[in-house]
Amino acid sequence: MPVNRQVVLASRPVGEPVLQNFRLQQGVVAEPKDGEMLVRVRAISMEPAIRGWLDDNDKNYFEPLPVGGVMRALSIGQVIRSNLPGYAPGDYVRGLMGWEDYSIVSADTVLLQKVDIAEDMPLTHYVGALGGSGLTAIVGLDAIGRIKPGETVVMSAAVGAVGHVAAQYARHKGCRVVGIVGSAGKAKVALEQVGYHAVVNYRSAANLEQAIREACPEGVDVYYDNVGGPTLDAMLNNMKTFGRIICCGMISSYNRSEDPPPLYNMWQVVARELELKGFLLYSYGDRLPAALATNLEGIRAGWLKPIENKRVGIDQAAELFCELMSGRTTGKSVLEMDLPEQRGSPASITPISLTDRSIFRRISGS
């Protein structure tokens, strides 16, 4: 019987996560019950939002992961055995699964969907540009940003998983695109690979608000916010009247949930009659097929060039996540699983089942 390697939460991070917060263990492969299927995890999406699930509080949209629990993420895998109508061995599915070789999945698995893998696309793209982060980029700009040709769009975390896709889409739609980055290396990637018209380095800028104003002298129509904190504060004073702010992420506070950075310029939401709206992708399910089609077409046509920060092997999972949360990565961080079952190995512990929607909640407490 093949082994089921799992990455579990060994201890709760204090601030930025470190390798010691995680542990790799071995377990047996569980048999799927009625209404379940066994899925071989093939690629795992590393998301900054995972950091919030590791804190023991009620400030997130998932219940906290217990110490000793298997880490979880949006992943893609292949059905091995199925007792779930509509799914057969060989099907590819995407949903919330464990950081493990094999997960038990049911109709109640969060974000579960069957995925048709295009022959000309790498599998890892389906947890990247063709997965949650890539679809988030399109849905945010279309549904909330409502971008139009000629508008100025600013992107924080400009070469991150969402930002680098959103920027290429906005440029393709005829917008002027300005990126905010944290290093000279990322500025170079933003300008030369992603295609930003201008870039602001928030670490080297003497005055971030002024640097944004110089890059956007006529003001900003749409701001795609992936970081929150001081960058959002600076952007509030650079928005045009009736500007739209897409609140996608707050990575500046993920490692400091008990002491988030303050905002001082919120009055500008009133003074400039701004729209500031947060969103989670699961609320826009009706838009996902069109967003997927857009990104597929973009990759094939050449106007969308995904950037992947890829590691191979589950033993690389914790290091990849820690690297992501340190701010050192560029593009989409994705773990491609190795396949040791092809060689055969021992086993001993059952995997977690991620079929219970009770882990999922809105902050309102529903």
Handedness of CA 73, 78, 81, 83 (dihedral sign): positive
Domain membership flag for residue 364: no
Domain assignment present for residue 365? The answer is: no
Examine the domain organization and report whether 92 and 178 are in the same domain.
no
pLDDT at 58: 74
Q: What is the pLDDT of residue 3?
A: 84
Are 141 and 238 part of one and the same domain? Answer: yes
HSE (CB half, 13 Å, CA atoms) of 289? Answer: 4
Integer Cα distance of 147 and 318 in angstroms: 37
Q: 122 with 154, same domain?
A: no
Residue 228: predicted pLDDT = 93
Phi, psi of 177 (to 5 degrees): -120, 125
Q: Do residue 279 and residue 215 come from a single domain? A: yes
Position 66 in a domain: yes
Residue 48 lies in a domain: yes
- Domain co-membership, 173 together with 53: no
CA angle 121, 124, 126 (to 5 degrees): 75
User: From CA 311, how far away is CA 366, in angstroms rounded?
Assistant: 37
Q: What is the tally of structural domains in the chain?
A: 2
pLDDT of residue 162: 97
pLDDT of residue 177: 98
Do 296 and 161 fall into the same domain?
yes
pLDDT of amino acid 49 = 87
Residues 124 and 136 in one domain: no
User: Is 145 in the same domain as 237?
Assistant: yes
Q: What is the pLDDT of residue 341?
A: 61
pLDDT at residue number 27? 85
CB atoms within 10 A of CB 177: 29
Half-sphere exposure of 41 (CA within 13 A, CB side): 34
Same domain, 166 and 75: no
Partnered with residue 276 across adjacent β-strands are 245
Q: What is the pLDDT of residue 364?
A: 30
Q: Tell me, what's the pLDDT at 348?
A: 35
Two structure tokens written together for 239: 């928005």
| Helix/strand number for the chain, H first, E second | 10, 15
Domain that holds residue 76: 4-128+307-359
Provide the pLDDT for residue 29: 92
**Taking the chain (366 residues) in consecutive chunks of 10 residues, what is each chunk's mean pLDDT?**
90 94 93 97 94 83 88 96 97 96 95 94 97 96 98 97 98 98 97 98 97 98 96 97 94 66 94 96 90 98 97 96 93 93 46 42 33
Per-residue tokens: 184: 């000279």
